[in-house]
Amino acid sequence: MNEPVVIVGAGPGGLMLACELALAGVPVTVLDRRTERSHESGGALLHARCVETLKQRGIADRFGDASTPRWNRTHFGLLYIEFDEELGETEFDWLVPQVRTEEILEERALELGVQVLHGQEVTGVEQDAGGVTVTVAAQDGERTVRGAYLVGADGVHSTVARLCGFDYEEFAPAYYGVTADVGDFAGNRDKFVNGLYPGGQLGILPLQPGRIRIMTVEWEDRDVPPGTPVTRDEVLGSVRRLVGTAPDVEEPTWMERNGHATRLVRSYRDGRVLLVGDAAHSHPPSSGNGMVTTLHDAVNLGWKLAAEVLGRAPEGLLDSYDAERRPVGRRACVRAAAQIAIQHPLEKVGPLREILAGLVEMKAVQRYLVQYVTEVSYAFDLTGVPGEPHELIGRRFPDVRTTRPDGTELTTYEPLAGGRGLVLNLTGKPEALPAVPEHLADLVEVVTVEPVADLDARVVVVRPDGFIAWADRGEDGDPGLARTLRTWFG
């Protein structure tokens, strides 16, 4: 087998990246060590920024719609923030189990011709000047897979990162935590209260009638080897250490372990090997950052890696993946570490929590904490030119309704569905802008629409990942348009 890109890990990051590469015409093989996908998952939220990304690719309706239940609440170190109508409009979460997200993304990947292979355990990686050779153990024996590039999207205990010697910066040490789905408690439910305890956290979440999720976090790491199965006695023991007693429950229907360190890889790239998602930046599930950072890693990398594989990448394009995404990964780790710092040791952080509890009632503080890693208030520095840049440059492209000159209605996200760049001519006159060079015709779509109040610009250039690379209000924007196209598309 000889594929231009090999991805290890069929989670949300690996599958989203595979879809992005396939849209660009790059063959992909995804290797996953699991023989079958679990029917349960700890993660259950799809943040608004994820929904926007899926809308840009025209597949958001597969995950949900206006009737999909929303979760308009979050926390910062177990200090809860209830969204008002304004914040809930932009920062909501759809209630979509992660297992369902993975199923839909795998279906989409298969539609695009991606090869997804399960039961594939990576045991060796060797890279050279021409590519990467991956050794894989499967039920039918050992073999090798050769690719021009290898991407590790295989989670917090990434085999790819370990075999390739990636180095990490640690923000918070490992902890100990278990999750279990059980039947309802037998008469002693009132003894178990959600919240913070001297030893860690206890969460009791009703899933449906007669079914409850128990979640524990203990700050003292118990150093259980990765892959060790969770047992009912272990779950009850964790609850007992936190609360002093344990619930009377039947055998759990599903259990999971977590407890990794909060850490960030020092470089997202080593030659022809790159990391995506939790393999690059790991933080506790309760920090609420995982899916957003993971999917956006994948969408940022996809078009850049495709251009490199196809021999069309401008100089430095692939390196911009690390330059842009590592700061976002760092923000996610900082936010997670800060939440741990205001919870432990409880006897010392009590006064700090009392003051913070008042601060999180302030709308400006709520917005800052919620948007810290959701890339609304955070912009990439994409100008590269002197003078005062347009305020849209480096920010996420908004989804607004507009019309073509012939009166046809469309949203500004629709032209991004094919994974190409977009030159949006907002003058309503096709002749108002110079023609895009012919050799970029299959990389950039030019769309002319009538002026849009929410986009105060004459022209907007949008990268395939949905970030605005250029915007200008006047005639002098034409040189900037040409320069932007050269910078990002060659």
Q: Degrees (nearest 5) of the Cα angle 75, 330, 122?
A: 105
> Which CATH superfamily, name and number, covers 2-171+262-371?
FAD/NAD(P)-binding domain (3.50.50.60)
Determine the Cα–Cα distance for residues 159 and 178; give it in Å rounded to an integer.
22
Q: List C-alpha distances in Å: 121 to 56, 206, 295.
A: 33, 36, 23
Q: Which residues contact 230 (CB under 8 A, 6 or more apart)?
A: 178, 180, 255, 256, 257
Tokens 């118990």 locate to: 222
175-258 is classed CATH 3.30.70.2450: yes
Residue type, 328: V
Residue pair 133/125 in contact by the 8 Å Cβ criterion? yes
Same fold, 175-258 and 401-489: no
Residue pair 341/171 in contact by the 8 Å Cβ criterion? no
pLDDT at 166: 98
What is the residue-level pLDDT of the chain in tens, covering all 490 positions?
A: 457 999 999 999 999 999 999 999 999 999 999 998 777 777 788 999 999 999 999 999 999 998 999 888 889 999 999 999 999 888 999 999 899 999 999 999 999 999 999 999 999 999 999 999 999 999 999 999 999 999 999 999 999 999 999 999 999 999 999 999 998 776 677 778 889 999 999 998 887 788 889 999 999 888 888 778 999 999 999 999 999 998 888 899 999 998 889 999 999 999 999 999 999 999 887 766 778 999 999 999 999 999 999 999 999 999 999 999 999 999 999 999 999 999 999 999 999 999 999 999 999 999 999 888 876 656 677 655 555 678 899 899 999 999 999 999 999 999 999 999 999 999 999 988 888 888 898 999 999 999 998 899 999 999 999 999 999 887 655 678 888 999 999 8
Determine the Cα–Cα distance for residues 400 and 55; give it in Å rounded to an integer.
12
User: 262-265 and 168-172: which strand pairing?
Assistant: antiparallel
Q: Which residues contact 456 (CB under 8 A, 6 or more apart)?
A: 392, 473
Determine the Cα–Cα distance for residues 388 and 322; give it in Å rounded to an integer.
26
Q: What is the DSSP string of 61-116?
A: GGT--TTS-EE-EEEETTEEEE--HHHHHHH-EEE--HHHHHHHHHHHHHHTT-EE
CATH code at 401-489: 3.40.30.120
- Which of 77, 79, 72, 80 shows the shortest CA–CA distance to 283? 77
- Which of 210, 217, 203, 162 shows the shortest CA–CA distance to 186? 210
Determine the Cα–Cα distance for residues 223 and 379; give it in Å rounded to an integer.
39
- For the chain, the domains span 2-171+262-371, 175-258, 401-489
Radius of gyration of the chain (CA): 24
User: 28-32 and 2-8: which strand pairing?
Assistant: parallel
Tokens of 357: 């509890």
Tokens of 186: 């037998």
Determine the Cα–Cα distance for residues 431 and 255; give it in Å rounded to an integer.
61
Tokens of 64: 């949900």
Task: Please report the beta strands in 426-478, taking only residues with DSSP state E, as ranges in sequence order.
Answer: 444-448, 459-462, 468-472
- Which of 304, 315, 292 shows the shortest CA–CA distance to 268? 304
pLDDT at 290: 79
209: left (phi > 0), else alpha (psi -120 to 50), else beta? Answer: beta
pTM for the whole structure: 0.94
Determine the Cα–Cα distance for residues 323 and 319; give it in Å rounded to an integer.
7
Tokens of 298: 């994948």
Residue pair 443/84 in contact by the 8 Å Cβ criterion? no
